[in-house]
């Protein structure tokens, strides 16, 4: 017994302080419309390459139903992630009484935490919009655009240029972004761009959504994720980055299996950038999930004259999804996987509501401490922090 006690004294002891445990950076990647079958294409149609999904060790499931519908849409799904509360389908960060709910980016702005939003859709589309804007309807793209210049977003990349400079009300929101200190580009995103933390950066690379992967979008999502991380990591107080693979959902609506496969491959590359960053930057948390599943997508065996061919996968959608009588395939309400990596990843295991993504982030970071009151509103007496003049 005495020998055992001496041996234990000689063993190295690792002491984790509260500061070391606290999450400083959060990267949330959302594969819009990406259910388990869409994600699984990375294992069967990835050109023999390993998928970054295999790098995750902590996995959970979320229920995605909205406040009024069993089957959610992207707006209600993203509102749950951005605000931690359920609302109705179509809501952009407002509750069922049309009251604005504070978004994650609005909350962390009070703490002087940097933020970024990247999407392959318009930057005013449902998912990205929920993190910085408020609207009774996701269809109000021009109204949503007006929030971006006055938001706490420091870096954004996606499409949607026409909602800023070709508006029906003739307002020039593009100029408003310039006035707020954004360096804007409407032609290309240079992944090697030398970014400075004293500036803000915005990329509006299409009038509406970007091209699909099948149409030749290239590595925009991977490059934008990498550039966003290069920029945001220059801020010593931490950051939040939301990256959306928007068009996994669009290809699901179109019942285009090859389109889903290519969009998931693209999303996988962006995940790789986030995971590579987290590997070398302590106190970084990476979360990968989806707002819902689209199309009842399944990886089925091919049917032949001799029966089922279990060596040939033939992706399919729910019966009737491609009927000419319907405009597009619908969402489904299957539970959605959550993958977590890095600091605090174990918190995301289990089965829970989609709103818990927000609350788990806040618990691990402490970002809402002394900022949000008991009514889930930003405190009016919270002092504005103005440290954003320091350049690195």
| Catalytic site includes residue 300 | no
Q: pLDDT band at residue 368, thresholds of 50, 70 and 90? A: confident
Phi, psi (rounded to 5 degrees) for 340: -135, 145
Catalytic residue among 65, 74, 121, 135: 74
Place of tokens 């302080």: 17
**pLDDT 10s digits, 299-319:** 999 999 999 999 999 999 999
Could you give the CA distance from residue 2 to residue 169 in angstroms, rounded to a whole number?
Answer: 83
Return the ∠ at Cα 391 (arms to 274 and 185), rounded to 5°: 60
Q: Does pLDDT of 387 surpass 90?
A: no
Q: pLDDT band at residue 382, thresholds of 50, 70 and 90? A: low
Could you give the CA distance from residue 54 to residue 344 in angstroms, rounded to a whole number?
Answer: 18
Phi, psi (rounded to 5 degrees) for 204: -120, 95
Could you give the CA distance from residue 382 to residue 368 in angstroms, rounded to a whole number?
Answer: 11
Q: How many helices (H) and strands (E) are present in the chain, helices listed first?
A: 13, 14
Q: Can you tell me whether residue 66 is helix, strand or coil?
A: coil
- What pLDDT does 166 receive? 97
Q: Mean of the pLDDT values across residues 372-386?
A: 60
**Which CATH number applies to 23-365?**
3.40.720.10
Q: Does pLDDT of 115 surpass 60?
A: yes
Query: Is the separation of the CB atoms in 248 and 34 below 8 Å?
Result: yes
Place of tokens 């070709």: 166
- Cα–Cα nearest to 102, from 379, 365, 385, 381: 379
Return the ∠ at Cα 334 (arms to 246 and 58), rounded to 5°: 75
Phi, psi (rounded to 5 degrees) for 293: -105, 150
Query: Is the separation of the CB atoms in 259 and 214 below 8 Å?
Result: yes
Could you give the CA distance from residue 264 to residue 244 in angstroms, rounded to a whole number?
Answer: 11
- The DSSP code for 55 is G
What global pTM score does this model have?
Answer: 0.91
Q: Report CA-CA distances (Å) from 212 to 206, 215, 375.
A: 12, 5, 41
Q: Report CA-CA distances (Å) from 103 to 54, 130, 209, 230.
A: 31, 7, 23, 24
Higher per-residue confidence, 122 vs 377: 122
Q: Report CA-CA distances (Å) from 119 to 56, 144, 209, 301, 314.
A: 22, 15, 9, 33, 29
Q: Does pLDDT of 203 surpass 80?
A: yes
Could you give the CA distance from residue 351 to residue 332 in angstroms, rounded to a whole number?
Answer: 18
335: its two tokens: 């539970």
User: What is the separation of C-alpha 210 from the centre of its chain, rounded to a whole number of angstroms?
Assistant: 17
Phi, psi (rounded to 5 degrees) for 34: -95, 95
Could you give the CA distance from residue 363 to residue 23 in angstroms, rounded to a whole number?
Answer: 9
Return mean pLDDT, the chain. 92
- What pLDDT does 369 receive? 74
- What pLDDT does 378 receive? 75
**pLDDT 10s digits, 74-104:** 999 999 999 999 999 999 999 999 999 999 9
- What pLDDT does 22 receive? 85
Higher per-residue confidence, 202 vs 378: 202
């Amino acid at each position: 017994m005495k020998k055992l006690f001496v041996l234990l004294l000689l063993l190295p002891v690792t002491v984790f302080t509260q500061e070391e445990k606290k999450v400083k950076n959060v990267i949330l990647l959302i594969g819009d419309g990406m259910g388990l079958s869409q994600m699984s294409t990375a294992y069967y149609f990835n050109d023999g390459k390993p998928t970054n999904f295999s790098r995750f060790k902590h996995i959970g499931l979320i229920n995605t139903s909205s406040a009024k519908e069993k089957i959610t849409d992207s707006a209600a799904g993203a509102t749950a992630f951005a605000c931690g509360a359920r609302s109705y389908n179509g809501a952009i960060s407002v509750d069922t009484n049309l009251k604005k709910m504070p978004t994650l980016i609005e909350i962390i702005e009070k703490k002087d935490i940097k933020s970024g939003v990247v999407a392959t859709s318009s930057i005013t589309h449902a998912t990205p919009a929920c993190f910085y804007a408020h609207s009774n309807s996701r269809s109000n793209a021009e109204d949503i655009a007006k929030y971006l210049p006055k938001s706490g977003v420091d870096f954004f990349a996606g499409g949607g240029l026409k909602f800023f400079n070709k508006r029906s009300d003739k307002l020039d929101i593009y100029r408003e972004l310039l006035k707020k200190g954004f360096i804007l580009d409407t032609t290309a995103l240079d992944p090697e761009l030398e970014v400075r933390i004293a500036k803000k950066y915005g990329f509006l690379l299409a009038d509406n959504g970007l091209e699909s992967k099948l149409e030749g979008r290239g590595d925009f999502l991977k490059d934008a994720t990498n550039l966003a991380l290069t920029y945001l990591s220059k801020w010593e107080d931490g950051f939040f980055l939301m990256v959306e693979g928007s068009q996994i959902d669009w290809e699901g609506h179109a019942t285009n299996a090859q389109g889903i496969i290519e969009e998931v491959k693209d999303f996988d590359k962006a995940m790789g950038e986030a995971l590579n960053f987290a590997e070398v930057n302590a106190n970084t948390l990476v979360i990968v999930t989806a707002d819902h599943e689209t199309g009842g997508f399944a990886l089925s065996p091919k049917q032949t004259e001799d029966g089922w061919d279990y060596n040939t996968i033939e992706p399919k959608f729910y019966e009737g999804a491609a009927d000419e009588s319907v405009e597009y395939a619908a969402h489904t309400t299957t539970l959605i996987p959550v993958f977590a990596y890095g600091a605090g990843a174990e918190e995301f295991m289990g089965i829970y509501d989609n709103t818990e993504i927000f609350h788990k982030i806040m618990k691990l970071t402490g970002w809402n401490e002394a900022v949000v009151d008991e009514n889930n509103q930003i405190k009016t007496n919270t002092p504005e922090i103005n440290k954003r003049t320091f350049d690195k």
